[in-house]
Amino acid sequence: MVCSVKHKMLLPFRRVLAGVKIHSCRPFSVSRIKSNCKKGLVLGVYEKEKEDDSVCFTEAASSFDGSLSGKLRELLSISGPPLKKGKSRIFYGLHEDFPSVVVVGLGKNSPGFCSKENWYNCKENIRAAVSVGCRALQDLEVPLVEVDPCGDPQAAAEGAVLGLFEYDEFKKKKTFAVKTQLHGSSDTTAWERGVLYGEGQNLARRLMEAPANHVTPAFFADTIEQKLAPFSDKVIIHKRPKSWIEEQQMGAFLSVSKGSEEPPVFLEIHYNGNAESSQPPLVLVGKGITFDSGGISLKPSSGMEAMRADMGGAATVCSSIVTAAALKLPVNIIGLAPLCENMPSGKANKPGDVVKAKNGKTIQVDNTDAEGRLILADALCYAHTFNPKAIVNAATLTGAMDVALGSAATGVFTNSDWLWKQLFKASIVTGDRVWRMPLFQHYTKQVTDSQLADLNNIGKYSRSGGPCTAAAFLGEFVTAPHWAHLDMAGVMSNKDEIPYLRKGMSGRPTRTLVEFAAGLCTEP
């Protein structure tokens, strides 16, 4: 018996399909389908170039259809209109090895770079389509799913791994666990690389989504240490305590942390992927505010719960290093994450306070909710002690970044054309885009015009050019010729903008950071 239904539409019908006459087809119950579906298959189909063209299968789908003497093609033709991009259709009982087969729409077969979107449409279409197919089978509680590589096994793996993730750690009812594997004998190395890229982003999503009473600075550091434990031959981790932070004279960092009962941690990771090389390391710095109340400059209560993810910079940086280690990238990376909470208390920073950073510059703190730049200032100073090839910091730094770019791209401020090109090239491949923003002296003047100190943490005109003045502030603690600041506030969470990510914290731009690090392996 062969039956075809659109996803979530389990309707009876009678037809002659592929030579099999069905006199009656009782309504399928979800429980009946679940009990019979031990293994599923996701296959891709492209949009027709012309109306009278036949169904355009991927190579794997064409081979599967051939093994069925064209039944899948017939079913697609009579079961509804041609599949559009990102849509799916499920067939039951079509193949003895795969009780459930999902065919997904890949859109047009156009593998080239799209200059308007600054990504490869085909890669994004594959990620989105595969995620739809895998979720359809997850809803049916199919435990093992084979995935059509769709011409790009890495993109297909990323779509599967990212699309199936859902944070449910504190729920009794868990999301059904699905194992995915590559269908056919395509490039398994590319598939496995895609799995690691997706798992890396999911690690960042898990850390960002978890409640702040669980992910404290100490817990965050312990989690990353555990994730890196399998690579102890190439990784050294230092969980620096408050006493060390004081010895380093990181007054800006300490001033933020002192408002909380949770002690600060300065997490330092050394990944020696190419220990024999004389090349200086790449240094990645991530903002690690595990909860941001705003301090004395208290945030509005509405939406404050999302500030559990204000350590997204640290989450993406550390997760990218975990991924680099898993991939065995031949590059040396140092990760730095100042971790603390920003809370209001009798010990907290007060508007108008003056603190001193590691490089000796004094800072007038006119807004305690502009705390991320304070902890990053000291971390950036410390980053220079490693004579780095480049410094890249990531932070959910300004809400104004969300206003400027929304969730379309991470804003990048950099003093280096070379570094910008490397980050931009990486983002084209991952589809997790970046966009260059200005670092004019116009903005620097606004943060150096301070009544009481060398710098002001919010700038002369607090509401104008917020992301730019924040970047200019950080620039006052940078002397390295290759530095980039990634303001990821706009991409922190996902509603429905990225189809292969469920609603919640996004873990972006972890994959772009990994791809960027991988790209440096081929740099002279």
| 268 DSSP β-pair partners | 238, 336
Q: Round to whole Å and give the CA distance between 370 and 470.
A: 9
Q: Round to whole Å and give the CA distance between 321 and 313.
A: 13
Q: Round to whole Å and give the CA distance between 281 and 275.
A: 10
Pairing state between β 235-240 and 265-272: antiparallel
Q: Are 120 and 114 in contact (CB under 8 A)?
A: yes
Q: Round to whole Å and give the CA distance between 433 and 426.
A: 9
Q: Round to whole Å and give the CA distance between 251 and 235.
A: 28
Angle at 420 between CA 443 and CA 437, to 5 degrees: 30
Q: What is the DSSP string of 17-43?
A: ETTEE-S--PPPPHHHHHHH-SEEEEE
Neighbours of 460 (CB within 10 A): 14
Which H or E run includes 365?
strand 362-365
Q: Round to whole Å and give the CA distance between 63 and 53.
A: 19
Residue in 414, 492, 501 with CA at minimum distance from that of residue 202: 501
Q: Round to whole Å and give the CA distance between 83 and 461.
A: 52
Q: Round to whole Å and give the CA distance between 241 and 287.
A: 17
Of 39, 48, 108, 299, the active-site residue reads 299
Copy the structure tokens of residue 111. 């593998």
Angle at 75 between CA 73 and CA 81, to 5 degrees: 95
The backbone torsions φ and ψ at residue 120, rounded to the nearest 5 degrees and listed phi first, read -95, 110
Q: Are 143 and 117 in contact (CB under 8 A)?
A: no
| CA dihedral sign, ordered 168, 171, 174, 179 | positive
Copy the structure tokens of residue 404. 């400027």
Chain centroid to Cα 476, Å, comes to 28
Pairing state between β 353-356 and 362-365: antiparallel
Contacts (Cβ under 8 Å, ≥6 apart) of 239: 218, 221, 222, 225, 265, 266, 267, 268
Catalytic: 299?
A: yes
The backbone torsions φ and ψ at residue 228, rounded to the nearest 5 degrees and listed phi first, read -90, -5
Q: Please, what's the b/e burial string for 26-36 (b: 16 or more CB within 10 A of its CB; e: otherwise)?
A: eeeeeeebeee
| 146 DSSP β-pair partners | 41, 181
Q: Round to whole Å and give the CA distance between 29 and 44.
A: 26
Of 89, 227, 373, 389, the active-site residue reads 373
Active site (catalytic) residues: 299, 373
